[in-house]
Amino acid sequence: MSDLDLARLQFASTSIYHFLFVPVTIGLAFLVAVLHTLWFRSGNPEHRRLARFFGTLLLVNVAVGVVTGLIQEFQFGMNWSAYSRFVGDVFGAPLAMEGLAAFFLESTFLGLWVFGWNVLPRRVHLLTVWLVAAGAAGSAAFIMAANSWMQHPVGYTVDATTGRPQLSSIGAVMTNPVFVWGYAHVILASLVTGAFLMLGVSAWYLRRRQHVELFTRSAKVSLAVLIPSTVLALGVGSQLGIVEATYQPMKIAAAEAQWETCGPCSFSAFQVGGGNEDQDPTKIVEIPHLLSLLATGTLDGEVQGLNELNAQYQQEYGPGNYVPNVFIQYWSMRVMAYLGSAAAVFGLWGGWVLWRRRLPEARVFLWVATWAVVTPFVMNTAGWMLTENGRQPWLVQGLMTTADGVSPSVTTGELVTSLVVYYTAFALLGAVNVFLMLRFARRGLELEPDEPAPADDDAGPRVPALTF
């Protein structure tokens, strides 16, 4: 492998691994906030116990996720210094806002929420958990804004001396159509991930007839979030595909392995071959007009083929091959779409079971729910691969190629060594995360009596936590 391939492998590995934790944090923070709100409104101690139980799982995930994010940032400076210098004037603003505002908001109020039980007034304590959820979503917003700028650069000017882009409008960056629809898709996918996790844990207890009434409540909450989130994610994802076909037509053409321009275009549910221009694909199942609908929003829209687009890019940017890896693009699209559709059907199944009031006795559904926890992680990874692989060979669409972004001084030995170190760290972090999540999940709910929370308005002096 070349130095470029090793650097790309390292970037892909760190990004995918970090992205396993991000959707859980966003989705589970929202669900814990919902449980806390239910306790605040009803006074039912069962909701309080559920909020603390799933809040512990959230805390473990956040801790490990922060470490994986630090590893990802380290490899930026080591392997992608040319890229960092090139985009620094544009990325400075959104990344500063992410670190100074959203991340500190999330981390600070997470601590207040964890140590604020029976100390903070109930309204203030409720506010802290919603600020945690807002901070998690805010962090994703600024990171997604930076990534969307790489997909479709807007709001910048090019410095005549350095040739580097400079930010001219943060508003344009934050209203980038790729960001608007991509961010909505990520948030919905995160809610799906958190709901699957909460439902899976609840199903595990219900199958064992432990804390049946309590975990029936958490299963109901997770299904109430899962059902609309999966349906909306499919709709938003379809609109995102139309936006990407407008600004990155190569990405959509590669996702269908469409080498020649067509209109109207069919969608192949499965095909063999077609990864290279000289391969004649065997399409197992074709759905007429569907590709045109997904790419243009109309049944008879024209979709440019890879050959035509590559010729256009060669005229605009110079000689080269501008076609991404078609095999990865084709199958990541289908893994994401098929699992997303299956998740929607699964959610509707759960809604039907819930409507019939047979959730605790639905053994088949509970068994599937327990093992389906892995589904959103595979789905999210496939979606991330679809987004990032489809931009290749560009690091910043139309401005900087991936080859030009690699650090000029990094050596093969350094790349291999850092890969080994990172993979070792990933294995350890993964083992710690799985161990702690399973340990706290299996330990069950705290069974000690609930202590009364302080009143909101008429309480006397309060003693800070950890003092006596």
Residue 448 has pLDDT above 70, yes or no: no
Mean pLDDT: which of 183-197, 277-291, 305-319, 394-408 is highest?
Answer: 183-197
Containing H/E element for 286? strand 282-287
pLDDT tens-digit readout, 228-248: 999 999 999 999 999 999 999
Distance from C-alpha of 17 to C-alpha of 170, rounded to nearest angstrom: 29
Q: How far apart are CA 264 and CA 378, in angstroms?
A: 31
User: How confident is the model at residue 42, as a pLDDT?
Assistant: 87
DSSP string for residues in 375-416: HHHHHHHHHHHHHHHTTTTEEETTTEEHHHHS-TT--HHHHH
Q: What H or E segment, with its residue span, contains residue 267?
A: strand 267-272
**What pLDDT, in 10s, does the model give residues 177-207?**
999 999 999 999 999 999 999 999 999 999 8
Q: Is the dihedral of CA 253, 259, 262, 264 positive or negative?
A: negative
Question: What is the token pair recorded at 434?
Answer: 């799985």
What stretch of H or E contains 158?
Answer: strand 156-158
- In this prediction, residues 271-300 reach a mean pLDDT of 79
Q: Which of 193-207, 353-367, 410-424 reaches the highest mean pLDDT?
A: 193-207
Closest CA to 35 of 23, 24, 50: 50
Helix (H) or strand (E) holding 259: none
pLDDT at position 444 is: 61
> When comparing pLDDT for 388 and 92, which is higher?
388
**Mean pLDDT throughout 162-170?**
88
pLDDT of the residue at 63: 86
Return the structure tokens found at 398.
Answer: 């139309």
| pLDDT value, residue 346 | 94
Phi, psi of 394 (to 5 degrees): -90, 140
Residues 6+ apart with CB under 8 A from 61: 21, 24, 25, 28, 433, 437
pLDDT in tens, 14-24: 888 888 899 99
For residue 331, give both structure tokens.
């199958």
Percent of the chain with pLDDT over 90: 40
Both structure tokens of 180? 């608007």
Distance of CA 173 to the CA centre of its chain: 20
Question: What residue type is 324 in one-letter code?
Answer: P
Q: What is the mean pLDDT of residues 406-419?
A: 86
Please give the model's pTM, rounded to 2 decimal places: 0.90
Average pLDDT, integer, range 144-150:
91
